[in-house]
Amino acid sequence: MHETVDGYRRYFTQIVGFFVVEDHILHVTQGLVTRAYTDELWNMALSKIIAVLRAHSSYCTDPDLVLELKNLTVIFADTLQGYGFPVNRLFDLLFEIRDQYNETLLKKWAGVFRDIFEEDNYSPIPVVNEEEYKIVISKFPFQDPDLEKQSFPKKFPMSQSVPHIYIQVKEFIYASLKFSESLHRSSTEIDDMLRKSTNLLLTRTLSSCLLNLIRKPHIGLTELVQIIINTTHLEQACKYLEDFITNITNISQETVHTTRLYGLSTFKDARHAAEGEIYTKLNQKIDEFVQLADYDWTMSEPDGRASGYLMDLINFLRSIFQVFTHLPGKVAQTACMSACQHLSTSLMQMLLDSELKQISMGAVQQFNLDVIQCEYEVLLCCPDWSQTPGLKSSSCLGIPKCWN
């Protein structure tokens, strides 16, 4: 990198030296050179300079290097402009290169986001004293009067990745701003560029990292619940990011042509993906328990209690439904409903298995005990369902009692 930057520094210095000499000769001699000659020479050199810069920037993957070259180019252009040489084409090129610079930034921040997600433990942030509490809220704009009133130790609802992501989005905005500086653009144009590049970071880079995280096999139900909570708080923080850009550019958000941040859709999409994964993984866990079922379809008498595999499944669902209490009500209810419907289908498939040739009354009674236990647990774990219009918790399994 340093060799490349030093090479460009020597390259620009030599060109500046040549044209400064030519300009000096033009002004202190008579007839040796003409303005038309120097202009023609400059236009020819400028075309070659632009071709070289465009070619190099097209394959450069280091944003720091691109920024160094931009700064050198601005100094080079401003210097020659002071001697009367037109440099608008150079600034137009830099404006073009800015898009390539942002692409290198997006790739760099994709790695930053992946590292943050890898290091997160997906547990609420614990704080044991006021100092730790203030450190967290200094990094992330979180306000909750109820949490403030709680005594220490206490926990923030989001995990550690949330303030880290928020800080890194602001760092990206700063990095994007560095290239826009000194390009002789208006504050409105710079504001628009910052918002557009930040939108790309949120809707493309961060969104992709979130979706890849959600689909990783090792991410379990508890982690998915925490990710949903995290995205809710990141979505709420988007308005503070808009304020952050406004404070940098001094362009009011009320301006007609101000671009809005699209973080809301990014985090909503991530939540929907996480919710879908919760339903899928929950059903997979139910299948694992159901596969342990070992009914004796010829038993003469029932055991008098629910089957062991079913009680293990119910204990698992109890713990998971407890975690779901941190989710929005609709999501938690849908997850519970999805689990019950899937279990209902699995139990029904047992009865309709083509390989099942005969069932004793004892087996029917045992199976009925299991269904009754399931219905009881639905009432116990999801009591609010009985208040839902058109939904009866006792019928959510969809299997008629075998007593009948």
In the prediction, which pLDDT does 188 show? 86
Q: Tell me the mean pLDDT in the region 120-147.
A: 95
- Residue 109 confidence (pLDDT): 97
| Rounded-to-integer distance, Cα 346 and Cα 287, Å | 8
Instruction: Look up residue 194 and give its two tokens.
Output: 């910052």
- For residues 362-388, one letter each, b for 16 or more C-beta atoms within 10 angstroms of the residue's C-beta and e for the rest, the string is bbbbbbbbbbbbbbebbeebbeebeee
- Cβ of 17: how many Cβ atoms within 10 Å? 10
Residue 381: the pLDDT is 59
Asked if residue 227 lies in contact with residue 286, where contact means CB atoms within 8 angstroms, the answer is no
Backbone angles phi, psi at 306, to 5 degrees: -65, 150
d(CA 109, CA 157): 25
**Residue ranges of domains in the chain:** 5-85, 102-123+159-275, 292-387
Per-chain mean pLDDT for the chain? 87
| Residues 209 and 120: beta-carbon distance below 8 Å | no
How confident is the model over 265-298, as pLDDT tens digits? 889 899 999 999 999 999 999 999 999 999 999 9
What average pLDDT does the segment 62-76 reach? 92
pLDDT of amino acid 388: 40
Answer yes or no: is pLDDT of 397 > 80. no
- The CATH fold assigned to 292-387 is Methane Monooxygenase Hydroxylase; Chain G, domain 1 (1.20.58)
Local confidence band at 390 (pLDDT 50, 70, 90 cut-offs): very low
pLDDT at 264 over 90: no
Match 């997160």 to its residue by tokens.
120
For residue 177, the model assigns a pLDDT of 93
Which pLDDT does position 345 carry in this prediction?
93
pLDDT of residue 74: 94
Q: Among 110, 7, 137, which Cα is nearest to 68's?
A: 7
Beta bridge partners of 127: 154
Residue 255 has pLDDT above 90, yes or no: no
**What is the topology classification, in CATH, of domain 102-123+159-275?**
Tetracycline Repressor; domain 2 (1.10.357)
Q: pTM score, two decimals?
A: 0.84
Of 312, 306, 328, 319, the closest CA to residue 376 belongs to 306
Geometric angle at alpha carbon 252, from 248 and 253, rounded to 5° = 105
What pLDDT is attached to residue 163?
97
380 — pLDDT class (breaks 50, 70, 90): low
Cis amide prior to 153 (ω within 30 degrees): yes
* Region class of 304: left (phi > 0), else alpha (psi between -120 and 50), else beta: left
* CA-based nearest residue to 205, from 229, 248, 175: 175
C-alpha–C-alpha distance, residues 192 and 185, integer Å: 11
CATH topology identical between 102-123+159-275 and 292-387: no
Q: Could you report the per-residue pLDDT of 205-251, keeping only the tens digit for each?
A: 999 999 999 999 999 999 999 999 999 999 999 999 999 999 998 87
For residues 195 and 258, is the Cβ–Cβ distance under 8 A?
yes
